[in-house]
Amino acid sequence: MADTVAVVEDEQNIRENIGFALKREGYHVEVYADGRAAWEAFQRSLPALLVLDIIMPRMDGLELCRRVRGISETIPIIFLSSRDEEFDRVLGLELGADDYLCKPFSMRELIARIKVLLRRIALDRLPDGGDVQVHRVGLLALDLQRYTARWDDRLVPLTVTEFMILRALARRPGYVKTRQQLMEEGYPHDTFVSDRTIDSHIKRLRKKFVAIDDTFDDIETVYGLGYRYREQG
């Protein structure tokens, strides 16, 4: 079954073009001209991936992203923005977006990123059993194929990007990963992300784990260097 991609964009031509291109790639496409219309539809059913413009009438992309994250922690979200200011980018990623593209973007690149994010999600749907690779560090268990994380056998809802950052940290507990390294792990396609983006992802990661176990403090900040996963004693 083909994945459904929702495009929320107030520019008619951009919306049409993305829709056209995605259909050619074989996806189902839902298009919305403003955030409010999209939100009404998402409350009934969520698509597999969201492409959101940031500045839109009636409800902007940031607000829509925040609301969607209230329903689903894992749905991949890509922002399109005509503002390339640091603030918007960080804010978008802080709200839990997985990727960020600046207008004017190349359609080929957008499609490529959509495919990457959807492929990761698709792994999540692999049937249980088989050669399931699970990486365990203490109470943390990372399913490297399904991109899911469990803490003390309880599922922690992570976005793909958060999962990849956590995986990079947990791969070698006790070793420091710089923000640059984490950026490369979390955003293999994007070289535009800033250090602060990593900080906001770490903040979200900690929050999600603390929500499950309020004694969680295994992600450590190493000032001036980066982050590391606590070595298990």
- Nearer to other proteins by Cβ, of 14 and 193: the residue is 14
**How far apart, in whole angstroms, are the C-alpha atoms of residue 222 and residue 219?**
10
In order of 27, 151, 157, 214, 228, the CA distances from 211 in angstroms are 35, 11, 11, 6, 20
In angstroms, give the least distance from the CB of 120 to other proteins.
Answer: 24
Q: Give the footprint of other proteins on this chain (CB under 8 A).
A: 10-14, 16-18, 20-21, 24, 33-34, 55, 57-58, 80, 82-83, 85, 102-108
- Nearer to other proteins by Cβ, of 102 and 144: the residue is 102
- Nearer to other proteins by Cβ, of 55 and 134: the residue is 55
In angstroms, give the least distance from the CB of 189 to other proteins.
Answer: 17
In order of 165, 202, 218, 219, the CA distances from 215 in angstroms are 21, 16, 9, 12
**How far apart, in whole angstroms, are the C-alpha atoms of residue 41 and residue 92?**
21
In order of 17, 32, 73, 96, 208, the CA distances from 142 in angstroms are 38, 35, 16, 20, 15
In angstroms, give the least distance from the CB of 11 to other proteins.
Answer: 5
- Nearer to other proteins by Cβ, of 5 and 80: the residue is 80
In angstroms, give the least distance from the CB of 65 to other proteins.
Answer: 19
